[in-house]
Each structure stands twice: as structure tokens, then as C-alpha cells.
Structure 1
Amino acid sequence: MAKSPVEYTIGGVKINFPCKAYPSQLAMMNSIVRGLNYGNHCLLESPTGSGKSLALLCSALGWQRAQLAKLQEGGNPVDAKNQSDKNPDACKKPDVNTYCQCVCHSRPSPVSATVEVKPAVVDLNTKELTKQVRDKVVEKYEAGLGYKKISRALNISLSTIKSIIRKWKEYGTTANLPRGGRPPKLKSRTRRK
């Protein structure tokens, strides 16, 4: 049986919630609506599984609907709670264009063409750490550079540099180096009985 939706009014904002909210969700929605009304930043913490995302979405959507309704009525959408709302010249846009970019995708975009983002550290577990990178580490090591200098020159963590060189010394190659650590567990059907 599906739970029926509930409507809460918090800070003068009607919030549609898909079920009865937990007290922590009500407190979070109250803080979110207050922050939105005053134009403040909010830092809200709550344990895992307490419904933070649902409370955030429902309260933000409810507040947005309330602002749209105020606009359609011809009123001021955000109540004048502080000086910056009363004086529009007090809020100025920054002179610098700030680019927002997500570097988790490999496809280039127009923004990524203008801003070069260099990762702080390369992780040994990523597939991008190719044989050429490992060869370059070994090449610099053979040229007499120390671990720290190689790490700084290639922008790779010191532990990764040490791991590559240790495996190169042990196996004599950088191609398909075996991973360290504990061997994988045997599957139940391959275990001895």
C-alpha cells in the first residue's frame, strides 16, 4: 500500500512531501527555506539514510513554486529581508568570468578548450596510467632523478612512483605489471573441501 503525500507549510512555503516526514527532515526543510528566504548559504549535515536529498528537493521545489506564484501575482518574489534586496546596486556581478567545469568526462567541450585542468594526482588504479607513463617514470629514474623529482615532474603521487619503480626492478618490465596486495579469494566452487 502506497503512502499518501503530505503537504507541510514551513516558513510560509507549501512543501509537498511524498510521505510523512521524519523530524530531522522537517528541521532540514525549515533550515533550507530560511536560507533560501534570506539568500544565505546553508551547510546541513544529517546521518546517512535520513532523507537529506528528499528534504532538499521538496523544500527547494516548494520554495521555487512559492516564488513563481509571488511573481505571477506581481509582488516581490523574495521578501526584502536584508539590505541587498532593497538596494539592487549592492549586489554586483563579479568582473571575472568563472568557468564551471566537470573533468570527469573525457569528451572535450568548448569550455575545456579555454581552461586547461591538470589533475593534482594520478592514481595507479586508473586505466589512464598507460605503459607510456610508466616507461617515462622508469626513464627519469634511470636518468638519475629521485622519487620526489619524478613525482613533481610528472604530477604523479610519490607512492605511485615508488610502486612503479619497485615493480620494474622486480619484474624487469613496465608492461602489465601485476598488482600488489592480497591475492583474490577463491570462489566457493574452486575451494578444496
Structure 2
Amino acid sequence: MKIHVVVKMFQDAIQEVTPFVGPNAKVNAMNDFKAWTGITYSEFLERKQQKEDDDVILGEDWAGSQIYCEDAVTGPEMDTLEVLSMIAVSTAHVTRMAMEFLINQDVKMPLVIYEKNQYGYFIVVPESEELECMQGKLPESLFHVLHYASNKKIDWLMLDSDGLEIPGLKTYEW
């Protein structure tokens, strides 16, 4: 069985990933792509073969949107896969001090982070009990974003300068 996955980009950030399986997966994925980008996937592929850039075909905001098709994993081997979730959040939800904290993180702090070039960070979201122990040790704005992700049972937080601003989370100008 094949799985078709539509990756929806907006302003260089993944906004949504939608999987389709079953007998109509390809058609449904192509319809979803067209609804997102305004262009048929057939036309997109045709223009790509003519060496046009994504941003010319789809427009700068939707460049990078794509459909991927792979063999779907089913059956007993699926039980051995670990699937994790990630949320993309704007760096506007943390203060400059919080970003500097991430840059200069003390190795004694049990927060696993990876720099995302100059655009932000990937952070493992601690479990709620572990996160509560970090309150007061983390910048308050970072704690609130991690707390939000933890409450949503998210495994990874991607702080990204182009990430979405989440309603209900405080934003900061810097």
C-alpha cells in the first residue's frame, strides 16, 4: 500500500502535513495540493521538469509545498516504529533573553536543544513533571511555550522565526 503525504509550506515553514492512504489517496493528495497552492499538481510537475523554480511556479509564499509518495508500513513492523510529534512556533513567543539563554545554555540544564541555523531551535519537550522542576530555572517565556507544548503532548518544539504565532501565547517585540 502507498501513502501520499502533502507537505504544505508557507513562507519557508511547514504549516501542515496531511497523509492520504487507500484507493483514492493519490487523487485526494492532488486535490489537497491544488486547494493549498491554487495550482494542479500535474502542472506543478510539468513546470518542474522544465526547470522552473518552486517560487516561480507556486509563488514565494508556497514554495516547497510538495507531495511525497512512499510505501506505507503496516502490520507487526509498525509496532517497532517510534513516531514523534513536533509543533512549529514563532520565536516571537519568547524574549530575546530566552533566545540568548538557548544560545548560551548551561550543560547542567537538562534541556535538549539543537540549533536550526540562524532561524531558531529544535527542543525536546520535557515531560510535565520534569518541566515543572525547571520552572524558575528557565526564562519565563520559554517555560510557557514548553508548558503549552507539553500540555498538547508534543514531543518536539521547533522555535522558528517564521513559525506560527499561537493564539493565547504571549508575544514579545525584539
TM-score (norm 1): 0.20
Q: Which has the higher strand share?
A: 2
Counting helix residues as a fraction of each chain, which structure ranks higher?
1
Higher relative contact order (CA 8 A, sep 6+): 2
TM-score of the pair, normalised by structure 2: 0.22
The higher radius of gyration belongs to: 1
